[in-house]
Structure 1
Amino acid sequence: MTLPTPDTALPHLSDVVPAVLTAMGATGFESRISLPTNISGACVLLIDGLGAELLDTYAADAPVLAGLRGQTLSVGFPSTTAAGLAAVGTGHHSGEHGMVGYTFRLPGTGVMNALSWRPHPSGDDLRATAEPERVQPMATTFERATSSGIAVSVVSGAQFTDSGLTRAVLRGGRYVGVYAIGDLAARVRTAVVDGGFCYGYHADLDLVGHLHGPGSEAWRLQLRQVDRLVESVVEGLPPGGLLAVVADHGMVTTAPADAVDVDADPLLLESVQAIGGEARARHVYVEAGARDDVLAAWRTTLADRAWVVSRDEAIAAGWFGPRVAEEIRPRIGDVVAAARGSSSMVRRTVEPLESSLIGHHGSLTTAEQHVPLLLAYG
């Protein structure tokens, strides 16, 4: 079996914020993306779910975005929101920032949901016992920028103001909670005009893609709203201002015929202690001494629907980046499965809502891995 490996010829999502901050005059960052050095105010705006292939396919629905189309970025594995936001916020790959999945097993805690910061599939808030600053202790890019004297703001949904994920990977700036797309555009414009750095986040394109499928009529109409959002920000860029639009992952439409219900197959559950990840990227945590048997069972059952590897094989293939910190290794499954084509590894008993979705992401296909880097200058 030939394993996919990250495209190291492409810049990584984690490279964007350091490059922008360097262009603003901040010191101590390594810039791997060439930008002008006369930037006086900037925003990195992340559009959840805006894959590069999707944008190229539906460019007619997003003329402003398409007109800014430039470089392509790789997001790394898993191609999911928690990992993508952590890459932006820390400047590192998942093997270092530790957000290795939508859900993953945290030693001493169990399987947790990185977005809700609660046990998976349900349970009480974990912020007091799995303190976000301890789960992800590295200084964020925002903390480092603030130390360099740059005013940093995080402009995102008001409901995420003090969330576990915000505290873990986006801390260090002034949090500006917003409630609607116009609110987001106005706050981003203000931050750039004031000469600071801001990170902005918009979630709705991803939500519509999950519910109706990427490329559906609803998704294309939502893409038009995103295009207008970006146009509104670009119109307000001052001289020396920069807007960098990125995404955390792309998305694929999964086929019901290619779905494997893990909860309904005893062979996939034998000797398994816990399962994390999501439908396109699974972490399988096994009983002591059972790794090889579980690996064989998952490979046989999933066949050509997924790449199924051991933890060591996934790390050696570079799935989690060029370096995996020793303390992060236990968060990665003993067995890791990444979906191929339009397949999915659903859990209809444990994850009924997620299993009902049409659009998914998380795996290593280019549709999920590649996102655009769109640059606009004042």
Structure 2
Amino acid sequence: MIVPAYGSATIADLMPSIGAHLGVPGCREDVLGLPNAERYVVVLVDGLGWHLVRGAIRDAPYLASLLGDGKPITAGVPSTTVTSLASLGTGLPPGQHGMAGYTSRVPSTGEILNALTWESDLVARSYQSKPTLFERAAEAGVAVSSVALERFEFSGLTEAGLRGPDFVGYAEERDTERRIALTVAAAQRGRRSLVYAYERELDHTGHVEGCGSSSWLRHLSRVDDMIERLRAELPDDVVLIVTGDHGMVDVPQEHQILAEDVPDLMAGVDALAGEGRFRQLYVDRDSPAAVAARWADHLGDRAWVRTREQAIEDGWFGPVDPALVERWGHVLVALQTDWAVMTRQFPRELSLVGMHGSLTPAEMTVPLFVD
């Protein structure tokens, strides 16, 4: 199990470390040891795990060339896009921003919120109301830009955790030339600049085909080539940083446990959320300790099972804002090796091959490459 070292080596520490160089108020220290500059471009590749890159150096020669000076940092818990992007954008651990995972229960309504699709009447800016580093940097006079697909501009996740930059959208992901041109232009705005550029297809391919597939390797090669070309076109005074939001593991069908088929697992569970590698169990009428004991007894060494209080005490989410604590399940189930607990409540999950969310090294560690 990898428990994040919040405040020193996580995705939440990246923007505050950059902010320390750009003069953003409240960003007092660069804990990651980044080069001093007045212009930074951060490329976040969804699903780019540290161990995945190390295992595919022939397919990613540019990223491989950065391994010597690169280092691993970690995602927050759970190791999933919603939580990691909120930590990146706010500079806060999950316990402070409250974006508890891919799906989680909203305390005020009881609904299960999918924070990626945000099919909810919840106002995202209110649900995650703490200021982002992007907002703070913009207020300090930094030219802040976000380069991503046009349809992400007003998404719930963008509004909740990534708001603040001037949004620079593109319509077609495969239009590499345009993406590079937009990023280069954004990097040269103002006297000081910060650009956040998001790449999503590697993660999508991993989910559908598996992160051990030839399709995944082809996408990694394409991403590697795009980032190398971006570096070549960026001015020399721009620091390029490449990172990821989580890693991934492939889960074979025979290791996918269907929760509804195991009566002991659903007993006492009023709502089930999270994802296959990190289940959140909401327990309103039974004892959370009793539910945790049943799950631990059934899963054995296939999972780490903790009550919410135990997980908080163990530091999974960093310091937790008391006003947000009810967003996390009363019981947390983090799967080990290549196991997953699936549910018919979320049928789209049943077709996934690559998964993430747990606290294993493969999922938790992501690269911090600087060039």
What TM-score range do you get, normalising by the shorter chain? Answer: over 0.9
The Cα shift of 1:309 comes to: 0.9
Structure 2 length as normaliser, TM-score?
0.94
- Counterparts of 1:141 and 1:8 in 2: how far apart (Å)? 16
Counterpart-to-counterpart distance in 1, 2:23 and 2:339: 45
Q: Give the aligned partner of residue 123 of structure 1.
A: none
Task: Point out where structure 1 has 5 or more consecutive residues left out of the alignment.
Answer: 119-125
In structure 1, the residue matched to 2:282 is 285
Q: 2:18 aligns with which of 20, 35, 54?
A: 20
Further displaced range: 191-200 or 269-278: 191-200
Which residue of structure 2 lines up, in the alignment, with residue 32 of structure 1?
31
Paired residues in the alignment total: 362
**Aligned partner letter, 1:276:** A
Once the two structures are TM-superposed, the CA of residue 227 in structure 1 deviates from its matched residue by 0.4
Which one of the candidate residues 123, 126, 151 is aligned to 1:131?
123
Q: Measured at CA, do residues 6 and 22 of structure 1 come closer, stay the same or move farther in structure 2, by a change above 3 Å?
A: closer
Question: 2: distance between equivalents of 1:130 and 1:332?
Answer: 17
Percent identical: 38
- Map 1:199-348; keep pairs closer than 5 Å: 199-321=196-318, 323-347=319-343
- In structure 1, C-alpha distance between the alignment counterparts of 2:247 and 2:9, rounded to whole Å: 16
RMSD, matched Cα? 1.5
Deviations 1:262-282 (A, max 9, x none): 122222111211011000001
Residue 124 of structure 2 contacts residue 160 of structure 2 at CA under 8 Å; is this kept in 1? yes
TM-score by length of 1: 0.92
Counterpart in 1 of 2:113? 112
Tell me, in whole angstroms, the C-alpha distance in 2 between the residues paired with 1:253 and 1:245: 23
Q: Give 1:36's aligned amino acid.
A: P
- Cα distance in structure 2, aligned partners of 1:231 and 1:4: 31
Alpha-carbon offset, residue 8 of structure 1? 6.1
- Give the Cα–Cα distance (whole angstroms) in 2 for the partners of residues 343 and 261 of structure 1: 11
Which position in structure 2 is the counterpart of 1:121?
none
What SS is found at the alignment partner of 1:6? coil
1:166 matched residue in structure 2:
158
8 Å CA contact 2:22–2:38 kept in 1: the answer is yes
- Give 1:32-181 correspondences, 5 Å limit: 32-37=31-36, 39-69=37-67, 70-109=70-109, 110-118=111-119, 126=120, 129-178=121-170, 179-181=172-174
Give, in angstroms, the shift of residue 10 of structure 1. Answer: 6.0
Aligned-pair CA distance for 1:5: 3.0
Contact 1:74 1:371 in 2 (8 A): yes
* 2:6/2:13 contact within 8 Å kept: no
Unaligned runs of 5+ residues in structure 2 are: none
User: How big is each residue's C-alpha offset from its partner over 1:236-275, in whole Å with a ceiling of 9 and x where there is no partner?
Assistant: 1213111111100000011222221012222211121101
